[in-house]
Structure 1
Amino acid sequence: MMTEITKVELAGGVIYVEAQPLGPVGQEPTELEGRGGRLPDLSEVTGALSSFAAQLGEALHRAAPERVTVEFGCQLGIDSGALTALIVQGSASANFRVALEWVNKRV
């Protein structure tokens, strides 16, 4: 799996992340610097993860377990200049791990 190191804009500055290009093979790294020459930011990744967690939460609410924890790995990809979350098996190869926990307060 080919990865690229790219700059990512945060509210307080810039960080570098390792991300897998999802576009055409051989795309130049300078073309990965976001739409309109802007650096990609984490908002699309965090928004996608929030939506994913909300849908899981709704399903778990219907199932009504006493307590549940969901863990998964998240790798970063770049598609059309935007960062994208890739949900992967929670292993050492993930860029980061996400743990979500729900507790049924009615118990």
Structure 2
Amino acid sequence: MTDDIATGARLVEIELPNGATGLVRVREFDGSGARKVGWEDRFDFTGVAETLEGVADALRTSLSRARPNKVTVELGVELAIKSGKLTGLLVEGEGKGALNVTLEWEGEH
């Protein structure tokens, strides 16, 4: 694992729901401070997936009355470690909102 002292980020191993392993850059979120990590540290991606599912469900529910033909969603998610677990944080990128939604209707609605 590598640490980036300037940003407080480090590279950690994650286990995806399908059992695959990946590496992601994360930062400590809960102010727990730096701690020594080893190659055996692995985080479960389930918390991040649940964050994404929650956002998707909320959007689906709120868009059900508008009934667009097409929806495009851009979501800024930063990966962080909170209370020892990997989590997804909705973030702003380049001065834009954390969530950009485009709705399209075809023909008469």
Per mean C-alpha deviation after superposition, the further-off stretch among 77-86 and 2-11 is 2-11
Higher relative contact order (CA 8 A, sep 6+): 1
Contact 1:74 1:86 (8 Å CA) reproduced: yes
Structure 2 residue 11 is the aligned partner of structure 1 residue 8: no
How is 1:92-107 mapped onto 2 (pairs within 5 angstroms)?
A: none
Divergent runs of 4+, >4 A: 98-104
Of the three residues 41, 49, 54, the one matched with 2:52 is 49
2:62 corresponding residue in structure 1: 59
Return 5+ residue gaps in structure 2 as ranges. Answer: 1-6
SS of equivalent to 1:30: coil
Q: How many residues align?
A: 97
Alignment partners' CA distance in 1, 2:52 and 2:81 = 16
Q: CA RMSD in A?
A: 3.4
Alignment partners' CA distance in 2, 1:25 and 1:6 = 16
Shift of 1:79: 0.6
Higher helix share: 1
Alignment partners' CA distance in 2, 1:100 and 1:15 = 28
Give TM-score scaled by structure 1 length: 0.67
Return 5+ residue gaps in structure 1 as ranges. Answer: 92-97
Select the structure of larger CA radius of gyration: 2
